[in-house]
Amino acid sequence: MSTNRSLTPSGSANSVVAMLRDNPVLKKMIATGEEQVGKLASQLLSNEAFMAALQKTVNAAIEAKGIAMRNVQIALAGLNVPTAEDVKKLEGKIEDLERVFETLSARITELARKNGRERPES
């Protein structure tokens, strides 16, 4: 006969968490662990060989990302699919055309008023 004790969200789980949080042995273990991790991090950051390896790894990752991005752009171009950069360029051109259209529309309205006519319907 086995006894299956399950923690209910109402009271039991909260009391266990509170008991663990207040446990001085557990607090000491956590503090010791944090201290050891801090020492290890300090040692690694002061180690020139580790820092050189870390820098080499980061540079390789950045280079790999650049190569992957170029390959994706080439593949998209081969499939005739626009890239995000292509879309941004087109959006810029559309905005330029909208400004030109607004300017022309305002000038047409101004000329129509000068000639005593209403603006031509579009």
pLDDT of residue 2: 47
Distances from the Cα of 32 to the Cα of 14, 21, 36, 39, 119, angstroms:
25, 15, 6, 11, 81
> How far is Cα 97 from Cα 88, in angstroms, rounded to an integer?
14
Residue 97: pLDDT band by 50, 70, 90 thresholds? very high
* 9 vs 14, more confident: 14
> How far is Cα 87 from Cα 80, in angstroms, rounded to an integer?
13
